[in-house]
Every structure is written in structure tokens, then in C-alpha cells.
Amino acid sequence: MVEAIRRRLVIASTALLMLALPLVADRLAMPDLVALGTQVAIYAVAAVGLDLLIGYTGLSSFGHAGFFGLGGYVVGILAFHAADGSLFLGVVPGATAAWIAWPAAILISALAALAIGALSLRTSGVSFIMITLAFAQMLFYLFVSIKTYGGDDGLGFRRRNALPWINPRDDVAFYYVCLAVLALVLAACHRLVRSRFGIVLLGIKQNERRMAAIGLDGGRYKLAVFTLAGAIAGLAGALQANLLRFVSPDMLHWTMSGDFMVMVVLGGVGTLVGPVFGAAAMVLLQSWLTQWTEHWMIVMGPVLVAVILLTRRGIWGALAGRR
């Protein structure tokens, strides 16, 4: 009971802080805080999706950045073709409206996850980690090699995707858009993990052989959640492209996949809200530490080890008490 109240308090005060962030940034005359907050919200969306795999299904995907980057490139490529009026593959026109570009990013990432999942999920354990990594790296090299879209250097575009009633140049408005997306994704996943589907995932995580013996064809559920996590990563990637008005192969690099895993583990595996704290810790530490040294991972590494050793469920476990 006390723990339930404590959990609600932590969530409420965090939500309040995030809502008030632009005001705080204004008062402290630190406008960069809004960009940092936006980055936290975007990474958090992707990390929450990854937690569905790692924390709820027991699938340690090391290829999450592949779908994140793919979503980003869909936005970038559509913007590129819209700018010069050309056609993608000679058929698809460009687009700058969010209601076209974002669903397209989600769809393409989901389809890629469906295909990659169908192949990767034949394996498990370390093989699964390696094969998801390999597929994401294939996507990375694919975009490095496409010179039309900037290759190594990436692809910039002038304006954010157009949303109704929202000025695309207004950074604070875009921050609230990302925050709203995060809230929606969290709420939907919160329902999901308590549904019949979510219960089956938890069963698979605990004892897949047992689940088969009571009549479950687990493969379909693993593929479904892998596709869903890919779609969520694609959405996050679309937001990321809009934040920077730039996409590059770095978004798909394996170190990005590693960062997403760190956010999940640091924040609290299998907690959904934990990865939000993990994303915040990662972004803030990175931005502060890079002021002192470019080797910020030298500090980040020990922090990660300490959090894993000292807490049961990451930052969220420490804040909200163990469950």
C-alpha cells in the first residue's frame, strides 16, 4: 500500500517536472534544457518499446537502433523528395506532413521488424543477440552506401514535419508533442502488459517450454511483440529526425542499440516507466560529462555497474521501492 502511494508520487512529480520543464528552462535562462528534455522523451519512447522485449518477453534484442534509424530515414527521405519534387524509387512522392511521414515511419519499421523477427526468432539466447545485431548492422551499412541520401554524412532537411495548429519552428511546442507521444506509448504499454497478450509474454519469459506444454504456440506472440517494439522504435526515430532535422547512419549504429539496452537496464528492466528514468540519466550524464571529457563512457560504465549491483530494479527500483 505504502509502496503504491510512493510509486504514484514519484510518477506524478516526474510528470509535473517534465510538464514544467520549458518554464524552468526559461526561468534559469537555460534554453538548452528543452532540447535535452526532448531528447530524453524520444529515447524514452524507444526504450519503453525495448523493455517490452527485454523485460516482458525475455528477448534481448541488440538491434533496436536498426528500427529507430529506419524510422528516422523514412522521415528524412520523404522530406528529401518533397524538397526537390522527385520520386522515391520513381514512384513514391515526398511528404512533409507528419500525418503521412510518421505513420509511414511506423509502418516501414514494423515491416522490417516483422521480417527480421521472423528470421531472428528461430534462435534464442546469445544467438538471438548476435543475429539481431547483425541485421541492424546490415541496415547501417545499407544507409552508409546510399550516396543519394548522404551516405556517411547523413541527410539534412529544412523543416520539421507539419502538424496541425503547431508551429514547426517552435521548439517548446515540439517538446510537448514528444512528451505527449511518450505518455501515449506508456499508457498503451501499461494496458498491454496486463492484457491476455501481456500475460502470455510474461509466461514465455519465465518458462517457454512450460508454455508450449500447456498448449501455447509462443512463436506468434514473440513475433507480434518484436514487430510492435520495432514500430515503436520507428516512431521514436521519426521524432528524432524531426528534433535534429537530420538523419545519419549513426542512428542505426550498434552503439545506439547498446545505449537503448543501457537505458532499459539502468532505469529498471520490466517496469515500463523505468526506461524513462534510464533515458534521462543517460542523456543528462552524457551531456554533463562531455563538458569535461570526450571519454564520458569511463564514468558512465561504473555508474551502470553500481546501479545494477546496488538496486534490484534499476533507478526505478531505487526510487519506488522494490516490487
Cβ proximity to other proteins, 28 vs 213, nearer residue: 213
Please state, in angstroms and rounded to a whole number, the distance separating the CA atoms of residues 174 and 241.
12
Smallest gap from residue 104 Cβ to other proteins (A): 23
Smallest gap from residue 99 Cβ to other proteins (A): 23
Cβ proximity to other proteins, 158 vs 191, nearer residue: 191
The sign of the CA dihedral 304, 132, 41, 54 is negative
Please state, in angstroms and rounded to a whole number, the distance separating the CA atoms of residues 176 and 241.
16
3-state secondary structure 253-298: CHHHHHHHHHHHHHHCCCCCCHHHHHHHHHHHHHHHHHHHCCCCHH
Cβ proximity to other proteins, 42 vs 53, nearer residue: 53
Please state, in angstroms and rounded to a whole number, the distance separating the CA atoms of residues 18 and 12.
10
Contact predicate 252/229, CB 8 Å: no
Binding positions for other proteins, rule: CB under 8 A: 191-192, 194-200, 202-203, 206-207, 209-217, 221, 224
- Which of the 8 DSSP states describes residue 160? P
Which residue type is seen at 165? Answer: W
Cβ proximity to other proteins, 90 vs 215, nearer residue: 215
Please state, in angstroms and rounded to a whole number, the distance separating the CA atoms of residues 84 and 147.
16
Smallest gap from residue 219 Cβ to other proteins (A): 10
Smallest gap from residue 153 Cβ to other proteins (A): 41
Cβ proximity to other proteins, 134 vs 192, nearer residue: 192
Smallest gap from residue 223 Cβ to other proteins (A): 11
